[in-house]
């Protein structure tokens, strides 16, 4: 049984294109693989905290010496990381906000890029510790950026995913959504059509 982890990061529940794509991905996946487990973590509903001194302290302090606050901070961070470790397929649904990914999704990465758990440093450089996983990234953008120098989403996400060992990454961009009603339809329909190639 394959385990799929879906990370939602649109701040809106209604009218969200990235959510529409992820919902269609889930429907496609369930239809093709009915026995698989799909876990959805919605970062707009359950926002994860920014890194703070308690979490960094918890990461670096032996368990028996941790403060209560460090243990609490570590518990959520461990849960997020365990969800990623358990997944075979990671689906990131990501709007473009101010040329980048939502800060909620960045905060999630700050938890799961964990030294000695999802990556480690070696004499020859950093090494990702996740193996055998693939990722699908579903973006929604008001303008058009794919392949251009102003696309700060895809290169960043490829880098952080590769850093933890996820190299098999597919991107589907719904673009031009805010340009005109026609562009919206075109951007959405192209992305929906591409979904059949990844699920």
User: Which span (69-77, 126-134, 140-148, 163-171) binds ligand FMN, by CB under 6 A?
Assistant: 140-148
Nearest to 48 by CA among 121, 129, 105, 131: 105
Q: Cα 151 vs. chain centroid, distance in angstroms?
A: 17
Q: Which distant-in-sequence residues (6+ apart) come within 8 Å of 105 by Cβ?
A: 7, 9, 43, 92, 94
Residue 196 C-beta-side C-alpha neighbours within 13 Å: 4
Q: Which is nearer to ligand FMN, 67 or 178 (CB)?
A: 178
Q: Which is nearer to ligand FMN, 34 or 148 (CB)?
A: 148
The binding track of 9-28 with respect to ligand FMN, each residue x by CB under 6 A or -, is: -x-x---xxxx---------
Q: Are 121 and 115 in contact (CB under 8 A)?
A: yes
Nearest to 196 by CA among 69, 13, 2, 24: 24
Among 43, 140, 164, 188, binds ligand FMN (CB under 6 A): 140
Does residue 165 belong to the site contacting ligand FMN (CB under 6 A)?
Answer: no
User: Which span (48-56, 89-97, 117-125, 155-163) binds ligand FMN, by CB under 6 A?
Assistant: 89-97
Among 47, 81, 129, 142, binds ligand FMN (CB under 6 A): 142
Binding site for ligand FMN (CB under 6 A): 10, 12, 16-19, 95-99, 140-143, 177-178
């Amino acid at each position: 049984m394959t385990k799929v982890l879906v990370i939602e990061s649109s701040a809106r529940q209604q009218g969200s294109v990235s959510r529409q794509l992820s919902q269609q991905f889930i429907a496609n996946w369930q239809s093709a693989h009915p026995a698989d487990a799909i876990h959805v973590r919605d970062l707009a509903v359950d926002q994860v905290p920014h890194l703070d001194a308690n979490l960094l302290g918890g990461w670096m302090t032996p368990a028996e010496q941790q403060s209560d606050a460090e243990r609490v901070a570590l518990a959520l961070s461990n849960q997020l990381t365990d969800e990623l470790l358990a997944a075979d397929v990671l689906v990131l649904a990501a709007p473009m906000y101010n040329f980048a990914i939502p800060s909620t999704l960045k905060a999630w990465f700050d938890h799961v890029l964990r030294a000695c758990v999802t990556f480690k440093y070696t004499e020859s450089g950093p090494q990702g510790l996740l193996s055998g996983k693939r990722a699908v990234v579903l973006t929604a953008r008001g303008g058009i950026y794919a392949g251009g120098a102003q696309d700060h989403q895809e290169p960043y996400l490829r880098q952080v995913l590769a850093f933890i060992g996820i190299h098999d990454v597919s991107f589907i961009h719904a673009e031009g959504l805010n340009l005109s009603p026609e562009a919206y339809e075109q951007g959405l329909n192209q992305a929906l059509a591409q979904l059949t190639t990844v699920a």
